[in-house]
Amino acid sequence: MVKKYIIAIDLGGTNLKCALLDSSLRIKAKNSFSTKSFDNKHKLIDGVADSVNSFILSRKLSRDIIFGVGIGLPGPVDTLRGVVHFLPNIPGWKNVGFKKILERKTKLPVCIDNDAKLMALAEHRIGSARGYANALCLTLGTGVGGGLIINGALYRGADNAAGELGHIPLNEEGPLCGCGGKACLEAYIGNAAIIKDAHKLFGHGISLEELSRLARDKNAKAVKLWSRVGQKLGVALSGIVNLLNLDAIVIGGGISEAGAVLFENVKQTILQRAMSVQAKRVKIFKAKLGNNAGVIGAGFLVKERLAS
Amino acid sequence: MVKKYIIAIDLGGTNLKCALLDSSLRIKAKNSFSTKSFDNKHKLIDGVADSVNSFILSRKLSRDIIFGVGIGLPGPVDTLRGVVHFLPNIPGWKNVGFKKILERKTKLPVCIDNDAKLMALAEHRIGSARGYANALCLTLGTGVGGGLIINGALYRGADNAAGELGHIPLNEEGPLCGCGGKACLEAYIGNAAIIKDAHKLFGHGISLEELSRLARDKNAKAVKLWSRVGQKLGVALSGIVNLLNLDAIVIGGGISEAGAVLFENVKQTILQRAMSVQAKRVKIFKAKLGNNAGVIGAGFLVKERLAS
């Protein structure tokens, strides 16, 4: 049988996206599963394996025509050994050999990597960062992660743990973060922090989608809130731009939907705060691949490791 | 005539070091000139040229046996075109073709680069960062600069402006910095800031050398001051370590002489604030080449560009 397809999974804080990709990384089918019940290690492992198996079963796919399964995970991953060091939002998770466990449970070859790295890989290959030698691709969501492209290649660091820009301290002192650090960027502009700030500002609970819609409609409170998010992100990015003299920054993930107000505040803050040479060089783009970046990146991972 | 020597210059905020290196980068002679009078563009250019010329003259060197002059400068440099974008402490300096001007005034080939990059190059080739694929080498002094080694090579960025870790914001709000930014690390732990803090703490002016000596003698005030410096540096480095998953950080420059209290506070802060995988990976070293790192790096620059 000729192998034709890749199963690509993007495991986020709120849902698991599963996609069937052909060998040109085109999405042929998609499904989404809630991760609400994946609240401990065993439930998460079984949840991912069940999602893959039910995806295959419901589409009557033969395992013989599938190259393998690519999975992006929201935490530091040893991609070569297939070990997930930890997942910030899943208790009891420590150095789990996720690749081997899933290979047994799905009967398919499995490649795993950090989700933000896969998004960066996808955006660099066929998205907004295409053609830029040195780029940072961010995902803003439950977690604030990133992937660095250095000299045209995904930069991993010795433990494949590079790119954790959500855990750059924005201040010397500030709120505790799930990572064990303090005053991390994510503690200010992760989804949970934004929703909390919005509750204070509006006097009632409000969703991120609604906040984004209100900002696009120029609602003053929503504009104020997203301006602050853009400024905080801009301060952290100013430091990175000064350190790395980047060509491009690509912003993706849920809150990038807030649109112009977010992007304008990021750009203005970088122009005000970063050094002139670096500030003039860097281009700020919205991610092109949107919600599909994670699964497309997971597809590239499998293609490059198993299918080339 | 066979060329044998390199003239290497390290231009700091307080003095200009000039060294004669042989082709194996061994220092054969050294001299130091005060930069106090180099307070505008023309005086600085003439000062550097005069230093080179008097160094050659006083040693009765023939220009025929000199490969060229390597110069490290405290600001962003376009090393290939030989242009210095600006120097934070010299007014009126903007995109000066320093290489060409000096070649005319010294009648020798000239290579220029950012001083912190040259220190990093030297520390990676023959110093504390030797053998580490991904490393950051800092120079703490009048300015707080750095050079990044990525995958074993000096990482420059598109404008050769990478490595400016002194201009990573330590807080959202804070003191204005000479670079145009706000709350930059350098505004907290550059020499000027430390001397100001020490004046407050001790009630009188005190030199950095004295502060370092007092810290080594366990003077409580000096220990407190250097602990704070180490903690602030540690917070900024935690963010970099999380972003880059570095193998090694090398700390050099004047204030690295404060010794154990500085290094212990940097290490402890990184262990407390950075993510566990990254914090465990990174090794913190004192620079090995000390005050010679700048001139040795300038020598490597000339050797690799003109003599190989």
A245·B158 Cβ contact <8 A: yes
Query: Looking at residues A119-142, what average pLDDT do you find?
Result: 94
Mean pLDDT of A80-107: 90
Domain CATH code at residue B31: 3.30.420.40
Residues B96, B137, single domain; the answer is: no
Contact present, B166 and A243 (Cβ < 8 Å) = no
How many C-beta atoms lie closer than 10 Å to residue B192's C-beta?
A: 15
Sheet (strand B153-155) strand order: B153-155, B144-150, B135-140, B248-252, B283-286
Instruction: Examine residue A95 and state whether it is found in any structural domain, yes or no.
Output: yes
Write the burial class of residue A306 (CB in 10 Å: 0-12 exposed, 13-18 middle, 19+ buried). Answer: middle
Residues A79 and A218 in one domain: no
* A124 assigned to some structural domain: no
Which residues in chain B have Cβ-Cβ distances shorter than 8 Å to A85? 276-277
Say how far residue A160 (Cα) sits from the centre of its chain. 15
Higher pLDDT, A306 or B135: B135
DSSP letter at A168 equals: S
Indicate whether A177 and A64 sit together in one domain. Answer: no
**Which residue do the tokens 């935690």 mark?**
B238
Provide the pLDDT for residue B308. Answer: 64
Neighbouring residues of A104: CB distance < 8 A, sequence distance ≥ 6: none
pLDDT in tens, A150-184: 999 999 999 898 999 999 999 999 999 988 999 99
- Shared domain for B144 and B275, answered yes or no, is yes
User: pTM for the complete prediction?
Assistant: 0.88
Average pLDDT of the residues in A87-95: 81
The domain total for chain A is: 2
pLDDT in tens, chain B (308 residues): 688 899 999 998 778 999 999 989 999 999 998 888 888 889 989 999 999 999 999 999 999 999 999 999 988 899 999 999 888 777 788 899 999 999 999 999 999 999 889 999 999 999 999 999 999 999 888 889 899 999 999 999 998 999 999 999 999 999 999 889 999 999 999 999 999 999 999 999 999 999 999 998 999 999 999 999 999 999 999 999 999 999 999 998 777 777 789 999 999 999 999 999 899 999 999 999 988 999 999 999 999 888 66
Q: Where are the beta strands (DSSP E) in B12-98?
A: 15-22, 27-34, 66-73, 77-78, 83-84
Closest chain B residue to the Cα of A270, Cα to Cα: B181
Interface of A with B in 63-122 (CB under 8 A): 76, 85-86
The secondary structure of B80-112 as a DSSP string is: TTTEE---TTSTT--SB-HHHHHHHHHSS-EEE
- B239 CB neighbours in chain A (<8 A) are 167-169, 239
B251 CA to centre of own chain: 10
Cβ contact, residue pair B239, A235, below 8 Å: no
Judge contact between A163 and A176, C-beta under 8 A: no
Residue of chain A nearest B133, judged by CA positions: A158
pLDDT band at A75 (very low <50, low <70, confident <90, very high): confident
CA dihedral (B84, B88, B89, B95) positive or negative: positive
| ipTM reported for the complex surpasses 0.90 | no
- Over residues A199-223, the pLDDT tens digits come to 999 999 999 999 999 998 999 999 9
Instruction: Give domain status of residue B126, yes or no.
Output: no
Residues of A within 8 A of B165 (CB-CB) are 242-243
Nearest chain B Cα to A78, which residue? Answer: B277
Q: Is A155 contained in some domain?
A: yes
Based on the domain organization, do A107 and A196 belong to the same domain? no
φ, ψ dihedrals at A74, nearest 5°: -85, 70
* A242 in B contact zone (CB under 8 Å): yes
Residue A207 sits in the same domain as residue A221: yes
Residues A267, A148 share a domain: yes
- Cβ–Cβ gap A169/B278 under 8 Å: no
A107 and A136 housed in the same domain = no
Amino acid type, B140? L
Phi and psi torsions of A9, nearest 5°: -125, 135
List chain A residues with CB under 8 Å of B244: 148, 155, 157, 162
B140 and B270 part of one domain: yes
B25 and B42 in a single domain? The answer is yes
Contact between chains at A239 and B155 (C-beta distance less than 8 A): no
pLDDT of residue A37: 84
* Chain B residues within 8 A of A162 when measuring between CB atoms: 243-245
Those residues whose C-beta lies under 8 Å from the C-beta of residue A148, and which sit 6 or more positions away, are: A120, A135, A136, A154, A155, A162, A163, A244, B243, B244
Contacting residues for B203 by C-beta, under 8 A, at least 6 apart = none
Domain that holds residue B268: 131-287
Q: Is the pLDDT of residue A1 over 80?
A: no
Mutate to test the interface with B, among A144, A172, A282 (most CBs of B within 10 A): A172
Task: Read off the tokens for A195.
Answer: 């929703």
Any A CB within 8 A of B202 CB: no
pLDDT of residue A270: 98
**Mean pLDDT, rounded, of chain A:** 92
Residues 28-47 of B with CB under 8 A from A: none
Q: Which of B163, B179, B275 sits opposite A179 (nearest CB)?
A: B275
Strands of the sheet with A66-73, listed across from one edge: A27-34, A15-22, A5-11, A66-73, A110-114
- Pick from A85, A150, A274: which is nearest to B277 by CB? A85
In a domain, B56, yes or no: yes
Choose from A275, A276, A280 for mutation: most chain B CBs within 10 A.
A275
- Which residues make beta-bridge pairs with A24? none
Torsion of CA A192, A196, A198, A204, to 10 degrees: 120
| Dihedral angle over CA of A267, A268, A269, A271, nearest 10 | 90
Q: Are residues A185 and A238 in the same domain?
A: yes
Collect all residues with Cβ–Cβ distance below 8 Å to B113 and sequence separation of at least 6: B70, B71, B72, B73, B77, B79, B160, B297, B298, B301
> Is residue A254 a part of any domain in this protein?
yes
> Does the residue A152 lie in any domain?
yes
- Residues A109 and A171 occupy one common structural domain: no
B124 found inside a domain = no
Q: Which of B297, B307, B308 is nearest to B71 (CA)?
A: B297
Q: For residue A6, list its beta bridge partners.
A: A21, A68
Q: How far apart are CA A144 and CA A116, in angstroms?
A: 9
A275 touches chain B (CB under 8 A): yes
Mean pLDDT of A90-108: 92
Q: Residue A13 pLDDT > 80, yes or no?
A: no
Taking residues A33-61, report their average pLDDT.
89
